[in-house]
Amino acid sequence: MTVRRVVIDHVLFVVADLDASRGLYTAALSPLGYEELYVQDDCVSYGAEGLDDFTICRGEPVTTAAHVAFSAEGRDAVDASFAAAVANGATVRGEPGVWTQYSERYYAAFVNDLHQNNVEAVWHAPEPVVDAPRRPGVP
C-alpha cells in the first residue's frame, strides 16, 4: 500500500450561510470520522484527532468552484457521506463508484456544496474494487 505524505495542512471555505453549510458539512463529514473541533460565531473547524484540517467561515466573497477530497476508511463511509451530504442540501455531482480514470482502487462520490464547490469522499482500496458501479469520465 502506498504511504501518502500530507502536502496540505488545512483548507478553508468562505460560505454565505454558516448554519446551512454547517448542517451539510457536519452531516457529510461524520461518516468519515471527522467532527466539529472548534465552533465560533463565524467559523466551524472540522477534523480528527485534534487536527482541524477543514474550516468553513461566514464571509464574502464566498468560495466557489473549488475542489476538496476527504479521505474515507472504506466504501460504506463514502456511501454514507454522499447520502448525508445530499440529504443536507448538496447536489449530486458523481454517485458512489469506482472512478476508473483514476484507478481500479479509487472508490469515491462527489457532490456540489451550497456554493458549487466539488466535495469528494474517497477510499483508496487496497485491491481493485470489482463489485461496484464503474464511473468513467471526470465528475
Closest Cα to residue 66, out of 16, 22, 115? 115
Q: Which residues pair with 23 in a beta bridge?
A: none
Q: How far is CA 8 from CA 28, 117, 127, in A?
A: 21, 18, 26
Q: Are strands 118-124 and 106-112 parallel, antiparallel or unpaired?
A: antiparallel
Mean pLDDT computed over every residue of the chain: 95
The 3-state DSSP class for residue 87 equals: helix
Which pLDDT does position 119 carry in this prediction?
A: 98
Q: Please state whether the predicted TM-score (pTM) of the whole model is above 0.85.
A: yes
Strands (E), the chain: 11-15, 35-39, 43-48, 51-58, 67-71, 91-98, 106-112, 118-124
Q: What are phi and psi of 94, to 5 degrees?
A: -160, 115
Cβ atoms of 66 and 6 closer than 8 Å: no
Answer yes or no: is pLDDT of 36 > 90: yes
Answer yes or no: is pLDDT of 72 > 80: yes
Q: What is the mean pLDDT of residues 85-110?
A: 97
The pLDDT tens digits of the residues spanning 105-117 come to 999 999 999 999 9
The confidence band for 69, taking pLDDT boundaries of 50, 70 and 90, is very high
